[in-house]
Structures are given as structure tokens and as C-alpha cells.
Amino acid sequence: MDQDFNALIHNDTWKLVPAEPHMNVVGCKWVFRTKRNANGSIERYKARLVAKGFNQVAGEDFFDTFSPVVKPTTVHLLFSLAVSHDWTMRQLDVHNAFLNGHLPETVYMKQPPGYENPTHPDHVCHLQRSLYDVSLFHYSTGSSRVYVDDIIMMGNDPVLISELLQRLSTTFKIRDLGTPSFFLGIKTLKDKTGFLLSQQRYMKDILNRAGMSDCKPLATPAAITQPVTPSDQPYDNPTQYRRLVGALQYLTVTRPDLSFSVNRLCQFMHLPSNDHWGLLKRVPRYIKGTITYGLRLTASASSTIHGFSDSDWAGCPIDRKSTSGYAVFLSDNLIS
């Protein structure tokens, strides 16, 4: 907590100002997380200060909304380019969540719990920095190229990457973790032909969460003979259904073979039935039998983009809507 708070102060994330009646002051809280290595062992404990943005008013405290989550297509594309061109790759860890982006809106936040200013305990924080920023940065000079996506830096000039790391460290408190091996829950296994992106530990967590660690494996994630239709018997724990489907959505980053089944299950999150829960449980059974699967990215001299699409025209038995799908490849690597 001390490290994160000191980093926020060092970056001038806010200014303390007297509280006034007209201010919409949002709260904040500390979020604690245990960071683990790929084998499940504890790497370290982290604390993050996050603002309670749900207290903001649209058009007053903010104007645009977006979800600053990892973009699978960006990850696939950059790793594909890196392995094809033998780029240098470095993984970083920024010590605080508030980044360098200037905040265009006027936002006031309560002082962090446990770190109230003793001289001005009733003051509030006038935020100067945004909590989230652009997810992909590109820098070029001459023939050198550097890409930064979330906490991965890669490019064709190792000297330039080292220089940028040094310059970043003068502004932010960062750690250089070296060659990427485990980031955002994704393990990168490098061999002679390229990378295997794997979420095997995450798959085991999903099985544990569903209480299906010892379930019988199945060869397919969905039954092709059983149509997915609404049922009159609502599932008695819809929150459990939504949590499991949400967890499976992130797994599709390295398991595109699950995309269709997970997408279909997402269509019933508003009111899942007992039948839907039965269909959902089939996906962890399939994961159980394919837990070593991942997304392979191989080196290629070609940069040709191929796209494929198909549609099950009017295939939904409920409303006769069509279901479409697509796959985009950069050379032989699936990127979207």
C-alpha cells in the first residue's frame, strides 16, 4: 500500500482541495491481489487504489466510456509479428494503476483510506491523471520500431528498447521482468518454431470454481443434436451461471475453439434455465479433456492476411436470426 500510494504522489495524480457542497465526490478503495507465477506459487502481494467510478455522473464527471481490457487480436498480432521477425520482447510491471494520461474532466475523489492528510483530513482529491490509458503505443525512429501493449514491449531494435525502458523508469516506478513468460494469466511457451500461448492454470481455476476438477472429460464443447432453446425452469443460481460464462469468455483468448459455444451461452445470461446450466457444464468437461491446448503462433516470412466467414442463415429456432462467424489469419497464425 505504501509503494502504491507513494507512486501516486510521485506522479502528481491528484491535488488536495477543500470540499465544497457542489462537488460530486466519488469514493475509492484498496484492492488487494496475490500475484502468482505460472506454476501457481506466490510471486508477491499487490495493493491497488481504485476509484469508484460508478458514482460518477454521465456528462458531468465523464463523457466517453470504454472498457480498458486486453484485446486478444492485439496480443495475437504482436506476438505473431515478434516471432516472425525475431523481435526483442520485454515484460514490464508498473507499480501504480493511475497512468500518465491527463484527465480532461473535473473529478473529485475522497482521500485514500488510511492515508488521509493529517493537516487537511476533510480535503478531497482533485484528480489530475486518468486511471486508464490507450492500450497500444507505437514508436518509430528511422528503421526501428517499438510496440507497447499493456505491459509488453517489443521491437526490432534491442538498443532502442533498453533506452526507452530507461527513460520510462525516470517517470514511472517500473520493474523490468525480462522476456515475457507469464502475463495477464497467459503463459508464453517458446520453442524453435514460435510461441504457444496457454492458459492452463486459468483452466484449472475454472474447473475448481465450477466444482468440476474431477469431472468426466468430453470430446466436444457442445452437443450438435440438442438445440439451445429457452426453458420454463429458471436456474436457481443465475449469478453462478454468469460468473462461469464470464470466466470462459476470457479463456477464448487462447482457446478460439470455445468461441462459438461460449457466445451461445452468453445469449441466455439474462435468464438462464436448468437446461442452459446443463449445456454450460459441458464446456468445462471439454476443457478437462483438452487442458493442454493453447494457441500456437509460428514464424512466417509472409505477412498476407486471410479472412474467412460463414453464417448459419436463419438458424435460430426461436426467432430465425442468423449466427455468423469469422476467422482472420496473418499468414498461418489466427489473430481474430
What is the distance between the alpha carbons of residues 53 and 61, in angstroms, rounded to a whole number? 9
Let me know whether 172 and 210 are in one domain: no
> What is residue 317's predicted lDDT score, i.e. its pLDDT?
78
Quote the DSSP letter at residue 215: P
What confidence tens digit (pLDDT) does each residue in 159-189 have?
999 998 888 888 777 888 888 888 888 899 8
Among 166-170, 208-212, 239-243, where is mean pLDDT lowest?
166-170
pLDDT at 220: 94
> How many whole angstroms separate alpha carbon 178 and alpha carbon 159?
14
Question: Of 164, 190, 216, which residue sits at a domain end?
Answer: 190
Four-point Cα dihedral 275, 280, 286, 287, nearest 10: -160
> Are residues 212 and 117 part of one domain?
no
**Domain-ending residue, one of 124, 155, 190:** 190
Q: For residue 287, what is its C-alpha cell?
A: 476443457
Q: Tell whether 104 and 86 lie within a shared domain.
A: yes
Pair 37, 185 in one domain: yes
DSSP assigned state of 273: B
The whole-angstrom distance between residue 177's C-alpha and the CA centroid of its chain comes to: 19
Confidence of residue 259 (pLDDT cuts 50, 70, 90): very high
pLDDT in tens, 126-161: 988 765 565 678 888 888 777 766 678 999 999 999
99 pLDDT more than 80 = no
- Domain match, 211 and 150 both: no
Nearest to 87 by CA among 32, 148, 43: 148
Q: Do residues 264 and 125 both lie within one domain?
A: no
* DSSP conformation class of 180: -
Least reliable range by pLDDT among 34-48, 87-101, 158-172, 245-259:
87-101
**What is the count of structural domains for the chain?**
2
Say whether both 186 and 55 belong to one domain: yes
Whether the per-residue pLDDT at 68 is higher than 70: the answer is no
User: For the residues 48-66, what does the mean pLDDT come to?
Assistant: 61
Select from 161, 190, 219 the last residue of a domain.
190
Are 33 and 90 in the same domain?
yes
Looking at the fold, whether 184 and 233 belong to one and the same domain comes out as no
Does residue 41 share a domain with residue 59? Answer: yes
Distance in angstroms (rounded) separating the CA atoms of residues 210 and 196: 26
Q: What is the mean pLDDT of residues 49-63?
A: 62
Please enumerate in sequence order all residues whose Cβ is within 8 A of that of 9, keeping only pairs 6 or more positions apart, or say none: none
Apex CA 194: angle with CA 190 and CA 200, to 5°?
50
The verdict on 182 and 62 lying in the same domain is yes
Predicted TM-score (pTM) of this structure = 0.73
- Does residue 204 sit in the same domain as residue 184? no
Quick check: 196 pLDDT over 80?
yes
Domain hosting 21: range is 2-190
Distance of CA 25 to the CA centre of its chain: 28
